[in-house]
Amino acid sequence: MERYVERNSARWLFRRPMTLSSRQPYISFTFDDFPRTALLDGGEILNRYGLSGTYYTALGLMGKGSPSGALFVLDDLRRAIGHGHELGCHTHSHCHSWNTATDVFEDAIRRNRAAIAELMTGVEFKSFSYPISEPRPLTKRVTAKYFESCRAGGQKPNVSSADRNQLAAYFLEKVRGAIQPVKDVIDLNRRQAGWLIFATHDIAPDPSPYGCTPEFFEEVVQYAVASGARILPVSSALRSIGESNSDAA
């Protein structure tokens, strides 16, 4: 229990509150790390519905293997941008967000920002996701300086008093292929006019424990579309929510 409180302590600190005051629900699809299948299969499904997602990359892992399969190669970064997706930051070396010293973590953010500037002219990270765990409070404060938004976990939508420095996400693999809990959270998001950010890793017929199948993923996408939510990559959703707030004011 103490451990739980400690690990979640950052949630109440260094917040950058954002309001969601329109009646329009939002959904974003995000992928961490990211395995090639997240783009080649998951991204293809999103594109088929006229949608795109956010791919959080640790550029130090480019071309390497991972527990969720082979990770992106350089060509995938170009393909992601070409297909309307957003590239986000996930530190350079996939640092553990709690166990890593804050100065080391900050260095890994700066390295990843430098790496994307070198690899992809004109591309800059606006969005971040915390690798592996919730952040330490001081790490959260430092990370927030570099990005419009930082995403964590929590298995719930972001509602009226969301925190841009620690946005909640719903990891699709945690339901182990059961569609009903996902439909329930999409319904909840619609009723509360929230911003539901889905996250996962690989999209494969025989997925890792951190991913899901293309059939399951497509069912989620279809239900999300049917809910009437506006479905956008994280940075575009943030901008659209900001605009709809000023419309409502």
Contact set with Zn ion (CB under 5 A)? 32-33, 131
- Using Cβ positions, the residue closest to Zn ion within the complex turns out to be 32
Residue 89 sits at φ, ψ, to 5 deg, of: -105, 145
Of the pair 41, 202, the CB lying nearest Zn ion is at 202
Picking from 115, 123, 126, the residue whose alpha carbon sits closest to that of residue 151 is: 126
Residue 146's SS3 state is coil
Q: Which is nearer to Zn ion, 33 or 173 (CB)?
A: 33
Instruction: Report in angstroms how near the CB of residue 108 gets to Zn ion at its nearest.
Output: 12
Q: Please give the single-letter amino acid code of residue 233.
A: P
Q: Which is nearer to Zn ion, 131 or 135 (CB)?
A: 131
Residue 89 Cβ vs Zn ion, minimum distance, rounded to whole Å: 11
Closest distance to Zn ion from the beta carbon of 61 (Å): 9
Determine how β-strand 161-163 pairs with β-strand 17-19: antiparallel
- C-beta of residue 93 within 8 angstroms of C-beta of residue 61: yes
> Cβ of 47: how many Cβ atoms within 10 Å?
14
Q: Nearest distance from residue 191's CB to Zn ion, in Å?
A: 30
Nearer to Zn ion, 171 or 195 (CB): 171
Q: Is the CB of 130 or the CB of 217 nearer to Zn ion?
A: 130
In the complex, what is the shortest distance from the CB of residue 66 to Zn ion, in angstroms, rounded to a whole number? 9
For β-strands 230-231 and 26-33, DSSP reports them as: parallel
Helices (H), ranges, 17-94: 36-37, 44-48, 74-82
Question: 18: which strand partners?
Answer: 162
Contacts of residue 132, defined as CB under 8 A and 6 or more positions apart, other chains included, come to 94, 96, 97, 98
Minimum CB distance to Zn ion, residue 99 (Å)? 14
Q: Which is nearer to Zn ion, 21 or 133 (CB)?
A: 133
